[in-house]
Amino acid sequence: MTCTKQGRTTTIQEKEGKCLTEEQVILKQWTEYRSELYKAKATGNPEILNVPSATNTDDHPILQEEVEAAIKALNKEKSAGELVLTLPKKGNLKLYQNYRSISLISHPSKVMLKILLDRLKPQAEKIIAEEQAGFRAGRSTTEQIFNLRILCEGYLQHQQNLYHVFVNFKKSLAYSFVGNHEDV
């Protein structure tokens, strides 16, 4: 089934294949899609979710100094409002799953998130594997690629077999923890 674009209204295809053109209906369908996409289904391995709890020293009320430091860390050139953008990926752009949602967070939320980040970062560094490079300060995935290349060259030089496994977690890191694997 193909959909056509009508005027300035974006056309999107719902689950059953019907083309939607009314802005309010499309907005409602986007809300439902995102709600389902990020809904946690606790069907995964419960051991994965067994993260050490924070010590009592980390569990204190938010201090004024933390709020001031978080405010100073905010980028003054950024928007203060809350906004959700949908950016197209590859494929049929009439399907919801071919879009990436990005949230631009309001300033009060950014302050709170910065405080939480500053508190959690030292704890996370203790439990994240040394090999984890992506999304870590001072680490680079290009270093991992270099290490992989050196490893491959060594095995080729010694004429030995080397097997690689590349895992692509489809939606997010949280996706891999909560067990939404039926469509992978």
pLDDT in tens, 38-81: 776 656 666 666 666 656 556 788 899 999 998 888 877 766 66
The pTM assigned to this predicted structure is 0.49
Q: Where are the beta strands (DSSP E) in the chain?
A: 12-13, 19-20, 83-88, 99-104
6-15 exposure pattern, b = at least 16 Cβ within 10 A, e = fewer? eeeebebbbe
CB of 29 closer than 8 Å to CB of 95: no
Neighbours of 29 (CB within 10 A): 17
Q: How far apart are CA 103 and CA 7, in angstroms?
A: 27
Per DSSP, the residues of 50-84 read: -PPPPPGGG-SPPPHHHHHHHHHHS-TTS--S-EE
* Residue 130 one-letter amino acid: E
Q: How far apart are CA 104 and CA 84, in angstroms?
A: 6
Q: Which pLDDT tens digit goes with each residue over 84-143?
A: 777 888 888 888 788 887 777 777 888 899 999 999 888 888 888 887 877 788 888 888
pLDDT value of position 55 = 60
